[in-house]
Amino acid sequence: MVYGTPLIDAFGRVHTKLRISVTDRCNIRCYYCMPETGTIFAPRAGLLSVDEIERIVRVAVRLGLRKFRLTGGEPLVWKDLGVLIKRLVDIDGVESLGLTTNGVLLADRAQELYDAGLRRINVHLDTMDRDAYRRIPRRDAFEKVMQGLQTASELGYESIKINAMAVKGQSEDDIVALARFGRQSGMQVRFIEFMPLDSQGLWNSEKVLSADVMVAILERAIGPLVPVPATDERAPATEFRFADGAGTVGFISSVTKPFCGNCNRLRLTSDGKLRYCLFAVEETDLRPLLQSPDDDAIAEAIFGCVRAKWRGHSINSTQFVAPPRPMSAIGG
């Protein structure tokens, strides 16, 4: 195995990022992601261990992957999260490590994760309205999320972003309130177009609140938005700043403006499946390879996954097929 060769797919995209799901379990039940009851989770014995994730990351770094993000399910329900973070930040070649969380347990674990070396957090929050929060994740935890954001801010995390799913007919007022909170707190809010990743088949294109419509709503309610030149053309979010200088917002337009042509990321599920796209219908199973000490076999599997990557997800075509697993099992 020759290391140092860039991870380039058939369309010339160089891959440098890996999102790692540490668990498929979650302590909330957002209606657009999971049913309120009846979800079947992977057996705990079938999930990757700290040692296994560390080994995969060490191989990935040798292949040129540099930026990593831990996700779930909800990663904060995984007791070994702090141990994993400490292991990963100590790996030579890991340039960036971030975490995506729903924030419910953040106040309880923010200090532990900061001490382990974590500095970048994205918190999922769809609304600033307490009653609406109860309806969306179907749990009464709004105050816990807000306390988590405050705790992380007080600890000095370098980057705290808020991710919000936008659904047409439901989120129009929420995006305005969230943008105002971002302007006040200094945290960037990123709005995500509703994607076909729920386990209940609720998605259809008419429920997509597009980035263009969201920009128009925010400009009417708050003021003009000015596009921010991209510092990384491969980043999934398009950023804008408010013309008055108070804050920025981002839009992840996976449906109306797919960024597949610049995609540079892979995904690893908590049960050891490597995916070249969030919407992929095929996976590369790394778990059997972890039974052998041969790291070259893992590297070859990663190369193979990249070489098999498609041009894009085709959400807006008749050829689109939704992935067989929901977002909670794939990794957010």
Sorted by where each starts, the structural domains of the chain and their CATH numbers stand as 17-330 (3.20.20.70)
Identify any residues that bridge with 120 across adjacent strands, giving them in sequence order: 98, 159
Tens-level pLDDT at each residue, the chain (332 residues): 667 788 999 999 999 999 999 999 999 988 887 878 878 888 888 999 999 999 999 999 999 999 999 999 999 999 999 999 999 999 999 999 999 999 999 999 999 999 999 999 999 999 999 999 999 999 999 999 999 999 999 999 999 999 999 999 888 999 999 999 999 999 999 999 887 665 556 656 678 899 999 999 999 999 999 999 877 777 778 999 999 999 999 999 888 887 788 899 999 999 999 999 988 889 999 999 999 999 999 999 999 999 999 897 767 656 667 777 777 778 76
Task: Please tell me the predicted confidence (pLDDT) of residue 307.
Answer: 95
Q: Cite the DSSP H helix spans in the chain.
A: 50-62, 81-89, 106-116, 130-135, 142-155, 172-185, 211-221, 295-307, 327-330
How many distinct helices (H) and strands (E) make up the chain?
9, 12
ω into 73 cis (within 30 of 0): yes
248-252, strands of its sheet edge to edge: 225-227, 238-242, 248-252, 188-193, 159-166, 120-124, 96-101, 67-71, 17-21, 265-268, 273-275, 284-285
And the tokens for 182?
């971002």
Quote the pLDDT of residue 30.
85
H-helix segments, 222-326: 295-307
Q: What is the pLDDT of residue 153?
A: 97
DSSP state of 161: E
Q: Are strands 273-275 and 265-268 parallel, antiparallel or unpaired?
A: antiparallel
Prediction pTM value: 0.94
Q: Which residues pair with 49 in a beta bridge?
A: none
Which DSSP symbol is given to 234?
T
